[in-house]
Amino acid sequence: MIARTLVAVLVAVLAGAAVAQQPPPNVRPTGPTPTCTTGGCHAEVTRHPVLHGPLAAEACSGCHNAADPAKHTFSLARQGTDLCLFCHEAPKGEVVHQPLKAGQCLDCHDPHGGKSRAFLKAGSASENCATCHQDVTHGRPNVHGPVAAGGCTACHNPHASNQLKLLLKPSNELCLDCHVSSAQQIETSRVIHEPAQKDCLLCHDAHASAEKMMLRKAAQPLCLSCHENIRSTVEHAKTQHGAVVEGRQCLNCHEPHATNFPRVLRNNPMAMCMECHNKPLKGPDGPIADMSAVLASGKSLHGPIAEKNCSACHQIHGGDNFRLLIKEYPPEFYAPFKEESYALCFSCHERSLVLDPRTTTLTGFRNGDLNLHHLHVNKDTKGRTCRACHETHASDQAKHIRNSVPFGKWEMPIRFEKTETGGSCAPGCHVPYQYDRARPVTYPSGPDKPAAQWPAAPNKGS
Ligand code: HEC
Ligand code: HEC
Ligand code: HEC
Ligand code: HEC
Ligand code: HEC
Ligand code: HEC
Ligand code: HEC
Ligand code: HEC
Ligand code: HEC
Ligand code: HEC
Ligand code: HEC
Ligand code: HEC
Ligand code: HEC
């Protein structure tokens, strides 16, 4: 802030100092050329560890004019900020700190000198700020590093600035200057969370917080304050997902700032599911299978899973369907047939598969033209749901047929064998059956009525 003209000014000031150095009549000179300070009177104004430039040069007249030399009275050379701006450049910026607007450099600075480089009246910068501003932490327990260290001026210009709130720089630049690893993460990531690109202060408080990590709110309410759709899912879902409400909640899966994975996820989506589903879990309606074991148990993965897309079928944040499924799927083993209750499977597979009793095209699961999907599934009372025969996630068999079906505590084997034109099964629930698309098999109990009987659950419909 020192003006280029300072040297010239100082010269002029020093010349003028001769006037001020006239010993007043009521003071006895002590040396050959007594001055205001060596004259034995005002020594105290120079007794500062750090002296203001003009005082070091005995240039008292830079600021003091002799009003009446005879009476030894003085007036200030100029008023308000002009006193200082005679030698210093005026602070620049659209936002000017109130005390400067009011012309009060002296609210903060001692004109003669002080303990610190800027000879602040109150000692340190933060002590100085505290003389007018209430404790900016407002008693919140987690105080930001530089605030705790009294570094108000690490972020604020005490005089003026072009940024709101007298900030030294736009807030993101300011934060990222110190938070180099966050800066690196944001610069080098492919996916950046929009608010982190816009303004750190959308989520963080600069001074202090009741929450960890200087967050304005705890992470989950913070996320939900902007993501209304997720809020209503989380609050109203009939089936809640433990992942969203337990532990680090949203942060179990999402990064707050930036990442290389889509949807600001912490990892690729399927790897993330497996961080928790690599062991049996307890759900509200009973045990939940260890999915890494399930996936490892079958050589062939169901299409969307082979593409690592668990959310093709599951609503991660919660939903109204059984097992967080995106669409309806019957939770039961037997269910009266309704087309809509298979909306999940039929969002990718042809629904006519189970609609027509006779077909030569719709499905491979037929005996001649007898549609065995229709026969098993499309029943008013005890239709078999797809899970009776198919494994949704992974299986060893062709056509994702299961090896076994849980029946109570018993894993009932199905023993499916596929042939060129059909297949056979020998499950625990009925005698071995075959089907053949080219050379239809004749069933003992009549072509339309294989004696499918689940033990302990007689199926009168078949
Ligand atoms: C940069 C401007 C400036 C310079 C240079 C300066 N003064 Fe001051 N001085 C002031 C101001 C402003 C006040 C009034 C202080 C106040 O009101 O807070 C003051 C007040 C005083 C006072 C009144 C008592 C006090 O300490 O408040 C004395 C005595 C004094 N100055 C002596 C000197 C002497 C001697 C010199 C030179 C060695 C000198 N000043 C140089 C600005 C200056
Ligand atoms: C007569 C010229 C002059 C006047 C008037 C003047 N200053 Fe200074 N000021 C200087 C000089 C010279 C320096 C020393 C510059 C250096 O060391 O680089 C200085 C240094 C400072 C410094 C320390 C700056 C630093 O970077 O270390 C502060 C703070 C300061 N002045 C505040 C004020 C205030 C407040 C006023 C008004 C009350 C004022 N000055 C009036 C000449 C002046
Ligand atoms: C609200 C308090 C406050 C007011 C009012 C104020 N200053 Fe300062 N000033 C400071 C603080 C605090 C520093 C030290 C900044 C730092 O630590 O980096 C400072 C530093 C300075 C410096 C040193 C160089 C620099 O910019 O860091 C100069 C010169 C200066 N002030 C001049 C002035 C002048 C001239 C005025 C009036 C026009 C003034 N100040 C008004 C608080 C104030
Ligand atoms: C002499 C009293 C005084 C001192 C000392 C002081 N301030 Fe201020 N400050 C004010 C006043 C008055 C306002 C305007 C009213 C308000 O916003 O509270 C203000 C406003 C501010 C603002 C808001 C500016 C805006 O544009 O809204 C910030 C930031 C600020 N001060 C920071 C500081 C910092 C940092 C310090 C210490 C280096 C400091 N103040 C020292 C009196 C002071
Ligand atoms: C890490 C940077 C940083 C530090 C350090 C810092 N502030 Fe701030 N301060 C800010 C930011 C950013 C804002 C604007 C807050 C906002 O808009 O939400 C602000 C706002 C303010 C305001 C305006 C009122 C308000 O709360 O909006 C005052 C006054 C203030 N700070 C004073 C201080 C004081 C005093 C200190 C030192 C004890 C300090 N600040 C330390 C960044 C900082
Ligand atoms: C002057 C340097 C500086 C600036 C500017 C700064 N910080 Fe900090 N920040 C720190 C220090 C130092 C810590 C304490 C580090 C620690 O405890 O590991 C910290 C801690 C934090 C923490 C908590 C980290 C933890 O591990 O507990 C967050 C969050 C944070 N800062 C965010 C911000 C934001 C947002 C901004 C911009 C408004 C900002 N910082 C500006 C220096 C800075
Ligand atoms: C959408 C809200 C949000 C925004 C915007 C945001 N953060 Fe964060 N930040 C968080 C959350 C949540 C955490 C806590 C992460 C955790 O606990 O793992 C955090 C943690 C941090 C941490 C400490 C841990 C770490 O990752 O190093 C720092 C530092 C930090 N943020 C700085 C910043 C900076 C700088 C910006 C602006 C560029 C910013 N944040 C923007 C939400 C946000
Ligand atoms: C200040 C508001 C705000 C906060 C707080 C916030 N977000 Fe965001 N978030 C956005 C905006 C804006 C977008 C970009 C627009 C969009 O896709 O909705 C976004 C995008 C996202 C996306 C990517 C959406 C997509 O379509 O790719 C995810 C995931 C996300 N946020 C999760 C979170 C999580 C988790 C948190 C809490 C740590 C959080 N958000 C906090 C505003 C916010
Ligand atoms: C179990 C991991 C997991 C948790 C926990 C989680 N998410 Fe997600 N989130 C995802 C996945 C996976 C996607 C991508 C879904 C897709 O692409 O269909 C996603 C997508 C999003 C999206 C963008 C798409 C959309 O549906 O709008 C937002 C926003 C979002 N999550 C916010 C949140 C918030 C807020 C929380 C905490 C309440 C949260 N997430 C918790 C895994 C999770
Ligand atoms: C942070 C741990 C965690 C992560 C990550 C996680 N889950 Fe879960 N999940 C659980 C817990 C705990 C349960 C059982 C308790 C519950 O749902 O309330 C569960 C239950 C489920 C259920 C059964 C829900 C029911 O109650 O019927 C499904 C389906 C599910 N998770 C799918 C996923 C998918 C898909 C992913 C990956 C996008 C995933 N989970 C990631 C912890 C996790
Ligand atoms: C093609 C649709 C589909 C895809 C893709 C899918 N699931 Fe499922 N998931 C289901 C169905 C259907 C159920 C209910 C199975 C049942 O009860 O017969 C289920 C059940 C679950 C359960 C509960 C298991 C239990 O013991 O009841 C978990 C956990 C689960 N899935 C996790 C995942 C994970 C992790 C992925 C990604 C690797 C994934 N799912 C991909 C359809 C799918
Ligand atoms: C998101 C789309 C999607 C959903 C939902 C879906 N599937 Fe699939 N399914 C596929 C794809 C893609 C294939 C082909 C790749 C393969 O063999 O897994 C496939 C293959 C199959 C096959 C083997 C077909 C063949 O010709 O080899 C069966 C059986 C099957 N799915 C059953 C189901 C059942 C039962 C459901 C409902 C629980 C279901 N699918 C839900 C996408 C889906
Ligand atoms: C009683 C056992 C059984 C039930 C129940 C069953 N399937 Fe199948 N499904 C099969 C058999 C066996 C095949 C293999 C046909 C072949 O290629 O030989 C098959 C094949 C398929 C195929 C491959 C294309 C085709 O039709 O040949 C799809 C897709 C399929 N089933 C979906 C479903 C869906 C969706 C459900 C529930 C609505 C379901 N299945 C219920 C036994 C069953």
List, as own/partner pairs, every contact residues 7-13 make where C-beta atoms lie below 8 angstroms and the sequence separation is at least 24, other chains included. Answer: 9/62, 9/86, 9/87, 10/53, 10/54, 10/57, 10/59, 10/62, 10/87, 13/54, 13/57, 13/59, 13/61, 13/62
Q: What confidence score (pLDDT) does residue 185 get?
A: 95
Residue 440 class from Cβ within 10 Å (0-12 exposed, 13-18 middle, 19+ buried)? middle
Weakest mean pLDDT among 18-27, 185-194, 292-301, 313-322: 18-27
Cα of 214 vs centre of ligand 7, distance in Å, is 8
| Contact predicate 441/434, CB 8 Å | yes
**Nearest-CA residue for atom 34 of ligand 9:** 250
> Does 42 contact ligand 3 (Cβ within 6 A)?
no
Instruction: Tell which atom from ligand 12 comes closest to the C-alpha of 309.
Output: 1
Q: Which residue has the higher pLDDT, 237 or 5?
A: 237
Average pLDDT along the chain: 87
Give the confidence band of 427 by pLDDT, cuts at 50, 70, 90. confident
Cα of 359 vs centre of ligand 4, distance in Å, is 82
Give the confidence band of 304 by pLDDT, cuts at 50, 70, 90. very high
Cα of 278 vs centre of ligand 7, distance in Å, is 29
Q: What confidence score (pLDDT) does residue 371 get?
A: 95
C-alpha separations of 311 from 323, 355, 376 in Å: 12, 27, 28
Q: What confidence score (pLDDT) does residue 204 get?
A: 97
d(Cα 455, Cα 22) in Å, to the nearest integer?
Answer: 121
pLDDT at 80 over 50: yes
| Contact predicate 236/315, CB 8 Å | no
d(Cα 287, Cα 95) in Å, to the nearest integer?
Answer: 62
pLDDT digit string, tens, across residues 334-359: 899 999 999 999 999 999 999 999 99
pLDDT digit string, tens, across residues 173-204: 999 999 999 999 999 999 999 999 999 999 99
Q: Which residue has the higher pLDDT, 455 or 108?
A: 108
Cα of 386 vs centre of ligand 5, distance in Å, is 61
Closest ligand to the CA of 174:
6
> Does 350 contact ligand 12 (Cβ within 6 A)?
no
Q: What confidence score (pLDDT) does residue 263 get?
A: 95
Start-to-end CA span in the chain (Å): 95
Q: What confidence score (pLDDT) does residue 203 get?
A: 98
> What is the mean predicted confidence (pLDDT) over 125-130?
91
> Does 373 contact ligand 12 (Cβ within 6 A)?
no
| Contact predicate 156/168, CB 8 Å | yes
C-alpha separations of 141 from 134, 215, 259 in Å: 16, 12, 30
> Does 60 contact ligand 2 (Cβ within 6 A)?
no
Ligand 3 pocket mutation, candidates 105, 106, 132, criterion most atoms within 8 A of CB: 105
> What is the mean predicted confidence (pLDDT) over 263-274?
94
Ligand 6 pocket mutation, candidates 179, 201, 217, criterion most atoms within 8 A of CB: 179
Instruction: Tell which atom from ligand 6 comes closest to the C-alpha of 151.
Output: 1
Cα of 156 vs centre of ligand 3, distance in Å, is 11
Name every residue whose Cβ is closer than 8 Å to that of residue 70 and which is 6 or more positions away in sequence.
25
pLDDT digit string, tens, across residues 437-454: 999 998 776 444 444 433
| Contact predicate 234/165, CB 8 Å | no
Instruction: Tell which atom from ligand 3 comes closest to the C-alpha of 2.
Output: 29
> What is the mean predicted confidence (pLDDT) over 303-328?
95
Q: What confidence score (pLDDT) does residue 445 get?
A: 61
d(Cα 369, Cα 436) in Å, to the nearest integer?
Answer: 9
Residue type present at position 257: H
pLDDT at 462 over 90: no
d(Cα 272, Cα 41) in Å, to the nearest integer?
Answer: 78
pLDDT digit string, tens, across residues 361-372: 999 999 999 999
pLDDT digit string, tens, across residues 406-424: 777 888 888 899 999 999 9
pLDDT digit string, tens, across residues 148-180: 999 999 999 999 999 999 999 999 999 999 999
> Does 101 contact ligand 4 (Cβ within 6 A)?
no
Q: What confidence score (pLDDT) does residue 32 get?
A: 52
pLDDT at 24 over 90: no
Residue 214 class from Cβ within 10 Å (0-12 exposed, 13-18 middle, 19+ buried)? buried
